[in-house]
């Protein structure tokens, strides 16, 4: 194979990446709507568990994207009532990106736009920026705090409360032992 053919093949490689969809109105935060919104970005992974997709104030969709095409910054979506809204995309674990053009197959210094401008482009001319990146979403990772001996000590002595329901005394004043605290992640 010639060098041009190899370069062309390498440019068309797809990469699976998580896209966070922000600003979706709450009634439309569903698997189907999220997958539909990301359908024009790349090939949507429809085998993803719903628990991996719900991020609280955003939805996540795993999509295989072409690294030689600019990243999609978001979409204008239409509702049944005729209203429209902009939803923005953020990409998790984003590798190198050319902020001039939004492609993943090169960095700023290797971007054709930058090279063709002979270095005359200013930072304000970048179509993308760090705002397109986001950290990996921490989903359904609940922290559990266990205070060893808490219930045993509580059963032995009932803690007096004042008229507002608050504690009148501290553990030490009541003669309760200091309890070790462990945090499980």
Q: 162 lies in a domain?
A: yes
- Residue 139, in any domain of the structure: no
pLDDT of residue 106: 74
Q: Do 91 and 155 have their domain in common?
A: no
pLDDT digits (tens, 9 = 90+) for 125-163: 788 888 888 887 765 555 556 666 666 666 666 555 544
- Model confidence pLDDT, tens digit, residues 77-124: 887 788 889 999 999 988 788 887 888 877 777 777 777 887 787 878
Q: Are residues 62 and 104 in the same domain?
A: yes
pTM above 0.75, yes or no: no
Q: Which two tokens stand for residue 105?
A: 């197959």
Q: For the chain, how many structural domains are there in total? A: 2
Give yes or no: residues 86 and 63 share one domain.
yes
Gap between the Cα atoms of 28 and 65, Å rounded: 24
Q: Which residues of 17-51 are buried (b: 16+ CB within 10 A; e: fewer)?
A: bbbbbeebeeebbeeebbbebbeebbebeeebeee
32-to-15, 38, 57, 82, 89 alpha-carbon distances in Å: 22, 10, 17, 19, 17
The range of the structural domain enclosing residue 36 comes to 3-134
């Amino acid at each position: 194979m010639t060098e041009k053919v190899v370069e062309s093949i390498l440019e068309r490689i797809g990469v699976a990446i998580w896209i966070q969809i922000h600003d979706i109105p709450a009634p439309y935060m569903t698997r189907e709507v999220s997958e539909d919104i990301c359908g024009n970005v790349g090939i949507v992974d429809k085998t993803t568990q719903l628990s991996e997709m719900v991020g609280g104030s955003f939805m996540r969709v795993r999509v295989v994207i072409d690294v030689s095409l600019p990243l999609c910054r978001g979409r204008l979506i239409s509702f049944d009532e005729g209203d429209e809204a902009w939803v923005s995309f953020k990409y998790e674990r984003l590798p190198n990106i050319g902020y001039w053009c939004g492609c993943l197959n090169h960095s700023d210094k290797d971007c054709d736009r930058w090279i063709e401008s002979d270095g005359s482009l200013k930072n304000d001319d970048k179509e993308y920026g760090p705002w397109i990146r986001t950290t990996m979403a921490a989903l359904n990772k609940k922290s559990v705090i266990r205070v060893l001996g808490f219930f045993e000590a509580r059963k032995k002595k009932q803690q007096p409360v004042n008229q507002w329901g608050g504690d009148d005394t501290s553990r030490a004043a009541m003669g309760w032992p200091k309890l070790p605290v462990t945090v499980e992640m």
